Amino acid sequence: MASGRVICRWPLLSGLVALAALMGLAYAGGEFAAERAAMVARLRKQGVRNERVLRAMARVPRDQFVPEEHRSRAYEDEELPLGGGHAMLSPYVVAMMAQIADVRPGARVLQVGLGSGYLAAVLAEMGAEVRAYEGRPGVRPSACERLRALGYLSSVRCEEAKACSGAPGSPKFDAIICTCAAQRVPRSLIEQLDDGGRLVIPVGWGPEQTLNCIRRTGDRIRAEVVVSVRVSPMSCQRGQQ
């Protein structure tokens, strides 16, 4: 992709905030602007190349999706506890899921596992219409409240449902992103992909899982292993052999 140089002199900006502004990536406020810019710079070094993903993650205040006691660590590259044994995905995993899904403006996206709501907000910033399913008790209400407070519920629909079933009876999706690991990829999710759609799903229940991209072209299904991740298993597949 071709790139050019733009030279600006803004004396009132300094450090990482200035760099973020020059790149068009600074979030329009908040005490963590420098940390957010540093996160984006780190993601670039980690191999995230999709500019739409990076711009979205620079705009969404990740610090608003974590408990108050962990807010100072919101932009570190690690999972953060949400309470009740649940955890928030690391920024790198969120970025890779969004990049692999290759979400475009107007895309219909099913997110399986709402979690903190942060990924849904990133997808909404990328212009997607998100239908988010969450089956773990007590998780959905707090995530929906965060999304509502930040103005994302116009693009995100929060529902309580089991991960394995997907969204039967709904229009097919351009992308499906699972934030929880599957022991086996549910066939129901593949069937809900539109032609050209992508299913992004971690597979495996060991200490690490493989993040897979499953693409549908007509009746042809192609799977590709992209990267190793660490996420929680699908609750609806627990105990299955």
pLDDT digits (tens, 9 = 90+) for 187-235: 889 999 999 999 999 998 777 888 999 999 998 999 998 988 877 766 5
Q: What local confidence, expressed as pLDDT, does residue 18 receive? A: 36
User: In one letter, which amino acid is 59?
Assistant: R
What is the distance between the alpha carbons of residues 197 and 200, in angstroms, rounded to a whole number? 10
Q: What local confidence, expressed as pLDDT, does residue 37 receive? A: 97
Residue of higher predicted confidence among 30 and 54? 54
Q: Quick check: 94 pLDDT over 90?
A: yes
Residues with Cβ within 8 Å of residue 53, at least 6 apart in sequence: 95, 98, 99, 122, 126
151 shares its domain with 96? yes
111 shares its domain with 173? yes
Question: Quick one: pLDDT band at residue 165, thresholds 50, 70, 90?
Answer: low
21 shares its domain with 87? no
In a domain, 1, yes or no: no
Q: Quick check: 16 pLDDT over 60?
A: no
Q: What local confidence, expressed as pLDDT, does residue 216 receive? A: 94
Weakest mean pLDDT among 22-36, 40-54, 74-88: 22-36
In a domain, 10, yes or no: no
Nearest alpha carbon to residue 94 among 65, 70, 71? 65
103 shares its domain with 191? yes
Considering 73, 94, 114, which residue would you say is the last residue of a domain? 73
51 shares its domain with 144? no
Q: What local confidence, expressed as pLDDT, does residue 14 receive? A: 36
Residue of higher predicted confidence among 167 and 58? 58
Q: Quick check: 17 pLDDT over 60?
A: no
Q: What local confidence, expressed as pLDDT, does residue 163 receive? A: 61
Q: How many domains does the chain have?
A: 2
Domain enclosing residue 216, as ranges: 80-237
Q: What local confidence, expressed as pLDDT, does residue 77 receive? A: 93
At 112, phi and psi to the nearest 5?
A: -100, 110
Average pLDDT, the chain: 83
Strand ranges, E, within the chain: 80-83, 86-88, 108-112, 129-134, 156-160, 173-178, 193-203, 209-217, 220-229
What is the distance between the alpha carbons of residues 33 and 172, in angstroms, rounded to a whole number? 37
What is the distance between the alpha carbons of residues 120 and 58, in angstroms, rounded to a whole number? 14
Residue carrying structure tokens 């140089």: 5
| Residue 230 · residue 208 · CB < 8 Å | yes
Kindly report the pTM of this predicted structure: 0.83
Q: Quick check: 139 pLDDT over 90?
A: no
Q: What local confidence, expressed as pLDDT, does residue 160 receive? A: 82
Q: Quick check: 2 pLDDT over 60?
A: no
Cα atoms in the Cβ-side hemisphere of radius 13 Å centred on 49: 3
At 30, phi and psi to the nearest 5?
A: 100, 150
Q: What local confidence, expressed as pLDDT, does residue 92 receive? A: 95
